[in-house]
Amino acid sequence: MWIALGFIQPFNIRGETTKDAGERYFNVLVKKSLFDKFQNKHRTYYKLHDLLHEMVRFVSGQEYFSIVGDEELSIENPETIRHLYVDTQNTKVFRNMDKFKKLRSLIMTYIWMVPIFDELTKIFKTLKSLRLLCIHAPLEEIPEEIGYLTHLRYLNFVEALMVPLPRSVCNLYHLQFLIYDRDRKFSDDDDFLPTDLNNLRKLHYLKLSSPGMYEIGKLNALQELDGLYVQNLAGYRIEELEHMNELRILVIYYPENVEDAKDACKAKLCDKRNLTDLSLEWGSLERINHKHENVLDNLQPHSCLKKLKINSFKGARSAIWMNNVHLISNLEYIRLEDCSAWKTLPPFWQLPFLKSLYLHDMPEVKGFECKFHENDKIRVFPSLEVLHIQKLKAMEDWFIATATTYECLFPCLTKLYLEDCPNLLELPSCPPKLEKLEIDNIGWKDCNWLQGISNYCSISIRNCQSLTYPKRH
C-alpha cells in the first residue's frame, strides 16, 4: 500500500526493489519503537502503541478520516481528506462519498447483503484520483465504471462472490498490485478474467483464484505471483513462466497437470536468480504417480531460494535436487504438508541457514536421510530455531543412519512442537537454547533428555499418558 501511494522512494542500490526499500523503511520504524511486535503460534504482526496512534490521528486529522459503525458521514472539510477508511452497513455513507473529490486511498468494509452496485458506480465515476482501492464485501457484480480509475496502482477485492472482473480493468495501465481471491472456485471454463488482462505490463504483484490468467507469461515485470494454475491448455501451461525472470515469490497450483515431465523444464526455475520464495501446491490426488516425481525433479529452483513449500505431493521420494545440499544451501524456511507417500526426508539437517522447518501429515516418513562415517562428529541443524512436526506416524528414529555421535544437536532451537508422532524416539540430548516445548500424543515413556532444560522454558504436554518426566529444579 505504501508503494501504491508513492510513500516509498528506493535508493540506487543494485538489485533492490521498491518492496525491498519499503521493508527497510519498516524495519527502521520498528527499531525506533514506532511499531510494537507481537507473535502467536500462527503469525507475527505489528501494532502502533495506543498513545502514538492517538497522536498520529490528531496530527493527520485533516488528511485521514475513518467511519466505523452506522454513524452518518459528517465532516467539515472533505476536500482535504486524502485517505478514507469505511466499515459500515449504512448505505447512505456510500451515497455521499462523492464529496471526497481528492481522495487517494479508499478502504471499504461492507458485509451486509444489500447490493451496493449503484453506490459503487457513483464512487468510481467521481473519485478519479484514487491510487488505492480495497473493497471487503460480498459483491455480486462489479461496475464497468471501475475503468474510470485510471490512476489506480493497488486494487484488492476481498471475499467477492462469483463475480468476473469487468473488461474495463484492462484499461488500468498504471496498476501495480491486483488481488482478487474469490471465496468460491469456478470451473476452468468460467469467464472469470478478461483475456486482455495480460496487457497490464506494470503489474508487480498478482494474486488470483482458479483458473488464473490467460498467457500470464506476458507479464514479464511481475515480481510476485500467487498463483499460476497449470492446465493442459494453450496459455495456461507451465512454460508461461519461461521469461518471467523478475519473479521473487511464486505459487504454482496443480503441477500434476503438466502433460510431460520434460515440459516442467520449460519453466526454467533454475534460471530465476531473483526467486526466493517458491510454493508448489498439488491437487487432492489419492494415488501415487511416479510422473509427478519427475515433474518435481524438473522444477529445480535456483540455489538462491530461501523459502520452499510443498503441499499434497503424492510422490514417494524427494526430488533429486533436494538431496544435493549445495543446490538448496540458502534455504531458511521449509514446509512440507500432506505428502502422504513420501518415505525419506532429504538431508535438511545439513543446511547452514535453515531457521524454520514444518513437517505435517507425512505418514510414511521414517526419518531424515543421513550418510555418516562411523566416527564422524556432526552438527545437526546448525541454525534451526523452529521445528514443527505433526502426524508423522511412521517416524521412529530422528535420523536414518548408523552414527550416533553428535558434536551439537539443534544448537539454536528455541521452539519445538511435536504432535501425533506415536512411534518417535526421544531426542538424544536437550537443545541448549530451548524456550518452548509442546508435545501432544507422543509415544515417549520418559524425558531424560529434559534433565538440563532451562527453568525459563515453557513446557506443554498433552495426551501422553505413559510419559514420566523429571522434576524441574
Question: What is the pLDDT at residue 80?
Answer: 81
Describe the chain by its helix, strand, coil percentages, rounded to 5.
20, 25, 55
Question: What is the pLDDT at residue 185?
Answer: 46
Instruction: Identify whether the C-beta of residue 355 lies closer than 8 Å to the C-beta of residue 333.
Output: yes
3-state secondary structure of 37: strand
Q: How far apart are CA 224 and CA 249, in angstroms?
A: 5
CA angle 278/282/286 to nearest 5° reads 155
Question: What is the pLDDT at residue 358?
Answer: 97
Question: What is the pLDDT at residue 187?
Answer: 42
Question: What is the spatial order of strands in the sheet that 399-400 belongs to?
Answer: 344-345, 367-369, 399-400
Question: What is the pLDDT at residue 291?
Answer: 83
Ranges of each domain in the chain: 44-365, 366-473
Question: What is the pLDDT at residue 46?
Answer: 85
With residue 157 as reference, give the H or E element that holds it.
strand 154-158
Question: What is the pLDDT at residue 308?
Answer: 98
Q: How far apart are CA 424 and CA 342, in angstroms?
A: 17
Q: Which parts of the chain register pLDDT below 50?
A: 184-189, 402-403
Question: What is the pLDDT at residue 191?
Answer: 63
Question: What is the pLDDT at residue 473?
Answer: 52
Say which CATH topology domain 44-365 has. 3.80.10
